[in-house]
Structures are given as C-alpha cells and as structure tokens.
Amino acid sequence: NFMLTQPHSVSESPGKTVTISCTRSSGSIASNYVQWYQQRPGSSPTTVIYEDNQRPSGVPDRFSGSIDSSSNSASLTISGLKTEDEADYYCQSYDSSN
C-alpha cells in the first residue's frame, strides 16, 4: 500500500500559475495512472485530469497534469488562474498490488 501526500494549501493571485504536488510514499508514481479532481464548495468532485495528463472534454487547457519520476510525484498545474478555480483539488491513484 502507499499514500499520496498533497500540500495542505496553496494560493496564488488571479492570472498567475499554481502547481499542486502529489507525492507517492512508496512504489513508482509512474506505475499507475494519476487522476485529479476538483471540488468546489457545495458540489461533488469532478475530474480535471485523468491518466496522468489527459483532460476530459470541457476542461480548459489551463489545467495540465504531469508526473516526475525523480521526485516520485505528480503535479497539477493551473495557469491563468480565475476566481472560479478556487476549490479543493485531490489526486488519486491505484494500488496494482491489490
């Protein structure tokens, strides 16, 4: 089993770029796809990135995902920040050993 660890909070000004990290505690970050979910207050989570770097239809290209094997982490980058991007963001992956 492994854990995924994200920073407690990140903040940036509108128009800027923010990156949220997601570090895998053991095993390779590249061994299983990573998904990212956005949850706005009072709403259910929606997928903004799947399979490491794929955007569902309707998600703007301001959202991008990547993985970095050297730090064993995934990242969600949001560029050109808008007030509507204020939300909780969660990373998710699978344990293929189970």
Would residue 84 count as lying in a domain? yes
Residue-number span of the structural domain to which 67 is assigned: 20-93
User: What's the confidence (pLDDT) of residue 6?
Assistant: 98
Would residue 98 count as lying in a domain? no
User: What's the confidence (pLDDT) of residue 58?
Assistant: 97
Tens of pLDDT along 1-54?
A: 899 999 999 999 999 999 999 999 999 999 999 999 999 999 999 999 999 999
> For the chain, how many structural domains are there in total?
1
pLDDT-derived band of residue 95, with 50, 70 and 90 as boundaries? confident
Asked if residue 98 has pLDDT above 80, the reply is no
Sequential DSSP letters for 53-92: TBPPTT--TTEEEEEETTTTEEEEEE-S--GGG-SEEEEE
CATH code of the domain containing 37: 2.60.40.10
